[in-house]
Amino acid sequence: MMKWVVRWKWLVLAIWIIAAAGLMLSAPSMADLVRDKGQIQVPEGYPSTAAAEMLKELHGREGGGALHSTLLVFHNDAGLNDADFAEMAEAARLLQASIADGSGVVSVVTHLMEPALTPQMLAEDGRTSIVLLQVSLEGREPAAVHEALVGMLEHLRAAHYFTGDWIINEDLIYSAQEGLKKTEIITVVLIVTILLLVFRSVAAPFIPLLTVGLSYLAAQSVVAFLVDLANFPLSTFTQIFMVAVMFGIGTDYCILLISRFKEELVQQGESTQAILATYRSAGRTVLVAGLAVLVGFTAIGFSAFTLYRSAVAVAVGVAVLLLALVTLVPFFMAVLGKHVFWPSRRKLEHKPSGLYRALGSFSLKRPIWSLLLLVVLLGPLLAGYDNRVSFNSLDEIGERYDSVKGFNLVAESFGPGETLPSTVVVEFPQSLPLPDGLAYLEQVSAELDAVEGVKAVRSASRPTGVPLDLAQLGGLQEAQEGQLQAMLAAYLSPDQTIASFEVVFEGDPYAQETMDRIHDLEEAAKRALDGTPYAGADLAVGGVTSTNRDLRDISSADYSRTVVLMIAGIALILIVLFRSLVIPLYVLASLIVTFFASMAVTELIFVDVLNYVGTSWSVSFFGFVMLMALGVDYSIFLMDRFKEYRSLPPRTAIMQAMERMGAVIISAAAILAGTFAAMLPSGVMSLLQIATIIISGLAIYAFVMLPLFIPVMVRLFGRANWWPFMPKFEAGREP
């Protein structure tokens, strides 16, 4: 194949340019696709999604889009004054008028309209007040709706903020897209700088940059088509992961190929033979290492959770990258020849690594001390790791967004639970008679109110959070039908078959302790209906807290399944590559220990030092996937060279492999860590934490596990390293 590529090099380039240009010009916008399909969604069959569907029926929107509770928060540190309330009334008027204009606003409620709601909508200290909106996003872009709402009130002088789960999610998407732009720019600058230092050449740095850059643009377009036409999984993380992984490993692989090419130029004397020799040796290593990464990310495709599966796009990127490495890189080598390295005249080679020689010698001579050193270095980290996890979306973007400012103001003034209450929805087998049926609703409300951690319950029997007394119920009995329906419409469907109960928790709606209360709400509602004509009614709990509870359950189950599949896939690659069952075992063990140590470092930084509640809930999964798939490359670099020396005694073979590959591993790990460091300015908490896991993990693996643990294992197993495929020529050799 390589002879064909070299012979038809200009045709190869033309095919790449035409294919990439065609894909880029015709592919859908990834930014638009992320907004449309990239949000985290709980699959059907879970309580939060069931509750959302039941709420659509309650509001007469079956088959349509859900209504999103949205808060407009007014705040004055000195206390809201008459001018502030006048502007609040003006805001409510404008928002109500926009209902007829198709703005997405469905309803507007303030305490100025409904004085009975004053305790729920005006803070006791008089500094904060809220306007409650119901917004439909059906057929509308969330960003456009948010922008229109903000623009409608931009003339108001009173400080005001829109907040709600959909606005917070929109800000998160925007933040991720802005972070992607920063990551792309920083990555390119970083790679050019590193390559200039490595090669001392004007031309050489642009070979990886052009190869990986063109691969990324083509792969991104392929993924966009797959998302648009085949509902390929997508998330706000997809593009950033593709950039970090493709540019990281792509640069590493290009350095290996170009370095070997210069060595072969000296040996072969001309470009074509040097290219063929390069791909027979370094090309094989790159292909196997890339295949391990490809298999690792492909295994994610077997996850059930869309967010997790969205990282499988990296596998598409790696596949395109490998194709470019065996077509575009040879093109540049063939066209430029020795001019690839102009103006540098120095011999390009990796000198024996003094650090790896010293650490390897220590590990082989004093294996017990080496293992004790590992315990001293990593033991305290692993012992202190508590796996503290946070589901707080607000931590993702911080207070630089108005949605977070608004949320925090409401949390401070009314309690955090008031901002994002949970909703218990009950669907009765038959219509609930009114007003007598209100007694059953109050029975449920009272049972919910008795659940530990619940601050208030609002329902048809207690619209303001306080149970209606007998006099009020009597008044309802005499009320006209229209008045009765208007009062109950917020909590009861028109046919009286579906009722909702708004539950306000005392604690943070994002806290795991609050999430644990969702089950208590379900049980309380069931108890309240036992022994009534409505026993066994369908019920579900919706809201952010319930959604996060479901996400926790989904992610936990999916994590275990995907981890097993990924380890199995990588193990299979290692078994085939090394023709051994022993080497893959301790290589995988070293990677797993490295992962937990890097998680401990991340928890130490973000939880113990920066005082966050925990690491973001998705970080552990993505950190594991990234570190396993990428870290295995460095094991392959080292152990593949060890395999080349398998005719030598194992201790001699691993020592020579470490001397030859130590500098390669350290420089490659530094480049990959650098591309992930480019994610740090993104400002998205999950990305900061994932980057920290990868950077610390690569450092631990390159400087601790590979030089201190792997040689000890090689010495321990001796000739059995190759079990059960023992090379015949090793028979009788000393271990």
Amino acid at 614: G
> Which superfamily is assigned to 63-171 in CATH?
Multidrug efflux transporter AcrB pore domain (3.30.70.1440)
pLDDT reported for residue 712:
95
Closest to 347 in 3D by CA, of 355, 338, 356: 338
The set of residues, in sequence order, having a beta carbon less than 8 Å from that of 591 and lying 6+ positions away, is 627, 628, 631, 632, 635, 701, 705
Closest to 377 in 3D by CA, of 735, 699, 18, 21: 699
Amino acid at 704: V
pLDDT reported for residue 486:
52
CATH class of 421-542: alpha beta
Q: Is 1.20.1640.10 the CATH number for 351-383+559-735? A: yes
CB count in 10 Å sphere of residue 49: 18
pLDDT reported for residue 24:
93
CA 124 to chain centroid, in Å, comes to: 39
Measure the CA–CA gap between 694 and 698, rounded to whole angstroms.
6
Asked whether the beta carbons of 216 and 325 are under 8 A apart, the reply is no
Peptide bond into 47 cis (omega under 30): no
| Angle, vertex CA 707, rays to CA 703 and CA 711, nearest 5 | 165
Structural domain spans, the chain: 1-37+201-345, 63-171, 351-383+559-735, 421-542
What confidence tens digit (pLDDT) does each residue in 95-151 have? 999 988 888 898 898 989 888 788 889 999 999 999 999 898 887 888 889 999 999
Helix (H, G, I), strand (E, B), or coil: what is residue 107?
Answer: strand
pLDDT reported for residue 67:
77
Answer left, alpha or beta for residue 425, where phi above 0 means left and psi between -120 and 50 means alpha.
beta
Measure the CA–CA gap between 409 and 538, rounded to whole angstroms.
36
What's this model's pTM, rounded to 2 decimal places? 0.85
Domains 63-171 and 351-383+559-735 share a fold: no
Query: What average pLDDT values come out for the chain (735 residues) when binned by 10 residues?
Result: 83 92 92 82 86 83 67 94 95 92 88 85 93 87 90 94 89 82 83 78 83 94 94 88 90 86 79 87 87 88 84 94 94 85 62 84 94 95 92 82 91 86 92 83 95 93 78 50 56 88 92 94 95 90 93 86 88 91 95 97 95 92 91 90 88 91 86 88 87 96 95 93 73 44
> Which superfamily is assigned to 1-37+201-345 in CATH?
Multidrug efflux transporter AcrB transmembrane domain (1.20.1640.10)
